[in-house]
Amino acid sequence: MIPIETWESDYECDANTKIDDHTNYERLESNLKTTGFDHSFEPGHAVPIPGTDNVSGKSARTRHAILSNNGYKYYPTRLMTPVEGYDERVSSFSEAMSADLQHKPHRDLTMKQIATQMWAQKDKGIPWYHGQPVNPVTGEIIYGDDEFDHAYDVEFGINQVFVDKTPRGTIRNMIKRGFSTAVKINDKDEKVIKQEVKDHALGNGNDKYKVSLICMDDAGANAPAKLWSLFMNPKNKVRHILFTKKAETADEVKSMRETWRKTLYKYAKIVVEFSLQSFGEVGTMAVEQRLQEVFANFELYGYNHLEDEKDYVKIDMFREYV
């Protein structure tokens, strides 16, 4: 048991793609409050931070946050020491990935989350595991099928989570294709996001914009309904701020933003083209001019879910976002 305030969660080597993982926090906190702390749980794994009395937590970070927020003074911890001669970055990644997949309790990582983090390690040129083969000519780490299978089956135990063969191929192919970024995302309670927006200069209404916080998880079902106010009252200043409850990775957040923008634009164009046909004006210039008028007083933003987004992200209705 260590003083709970001496624990510092290591998110850089975290197998999870989220920082503020509200979804997992809420689920785990509910279980802990209902059943109490189970001492058969695997303790949090941590490494002492040189020159301090603190430790760097490699696993059980969400559980630590829950106990800390609920007034616990001590935290069950298994202390580990880096072995001299081994790359601590590899050790930390391997430890975090194994813990998130195998420890009791553990989070349910999706295939895309696993693939994103393994790709990120590869992209930085850091091995997935100690002893991973190196090309004797170039000196570069080899990330081939054999190395992937060894990490999948032996090092991380992913095969214990996904028993059938499909996930292996899916995760392998996603790593090969790569991702646009491995930046982590914030998964916050909707109530927290609402309050943040209300306190923000873009959301407090002082600039006379009517502001709506909108969940962008189902653009096809929800985006078209947001158009009618723009057509009915085009002079009103309207600002929509998009957030997500479902995205697991930064790529998914970006893709959702583009899907929402494209869906809004697509349905607006359909309405404009239909209305112009009544007047015999269906030329491209006429359509584009009318669309400019429809969106003249409209602003679309994305809530800053990504770790490297310092503020809300402006989304141009007339340009592809990703």
Give the pLDDT confidence score for residue 12 in this predicted structure.
Answer: 75
Q: Which of 29, 51, 84 is the last residue of a domain?
A: 84
Is 141 a member of any domain?
A: no
Give the pLDDT confidence score for residue 130 in this predicted structure.
Answer: 94
Is 161 a member of any domain?
A: no
Give the pLDDT confidence score for residue 28 in this predicted structure.
Answer: 78
The CATH number of whichever domain residue 20 belongs to comes to 3.90.1530.10
Q: Which of 84, 111, 135 is the last residue of a domain?
A: 84
Q: Which domain holds residue 200?
A: 187-315
* Cβ partners under 8 Å of residue 154, min gap 6: 129
Give the pLDDT confidence score for residue 29 in this predicted structure.
Answer: 82
Is 182 a member of any domain?
A: no
Is 153 a member of any domain?
A: no
Look at residues 121, 103, 46, 116 and name the one whose alpha carbon lies nearest to residue 80.
Answer: 46
Is 124 a member of any domain?
A: no
pLDDT digits (tens), the chain, 322 positions:
999 999 998 877 766 777 767 877 887 788 777 777 666 677 888 999 999 999 998 888 888 888 899 898 999 898 988 888 888 889 888 888 887 777 666 667 889 889 998 999 999 999 999 999 999 999 999 999 999 999 999 999 888 888 777 899 999 999 999 998 888 898 889 999 999 999 999 999 999 999 999 999 999 888 888 888 788 888 899 999 999 999 989 999 999 999 999 999 999 999 888 878 766 656 778 888 989 999 999 999 999 999 899 999 999 999 999 7
Give the pLDDT confidence score for residue 277 in this predicted structure.
Answer: 76
How many domains, in total, are found in the chain?
2
Is 110 a member of any domain?
A: no
Integer angstrom CA distances of residue 61 from 15, 95, 185: 11, 13, 16
Token representation of residue 233: 């009252």
Residues 77, 194 share a domain: no
Token representation of residue 74: 């001590």
Q: What whole-number distance in Å separates Cα of residue 141 and Cα of residue 20?
A: 32
Query: 186, 305 in Cβ contact below 8 A?
Result: yes
Q: Residue 120 CB: number of other CB atoms within 10 A?
A: 19
Give the pLDDT confidence score for residue 103 in this predicted structure.
Answer: 67
* CA triple 30-31-36, angle to 5 deg: 110
Is 201 a member of any domain?
A: yes
Q: Which of 24, 52, 84 is the last residue of a domain?
A: 84
Question: What residue type is 213 in one-letter code?
Answer: L
Give the pLDDT confidence score for residue 149 in this predicted structure.
Answer: 96
Is 13 a member of any domain?
A: yes
Residues 311, 191 share a domain: yes
What pTM does this model have?
0.73
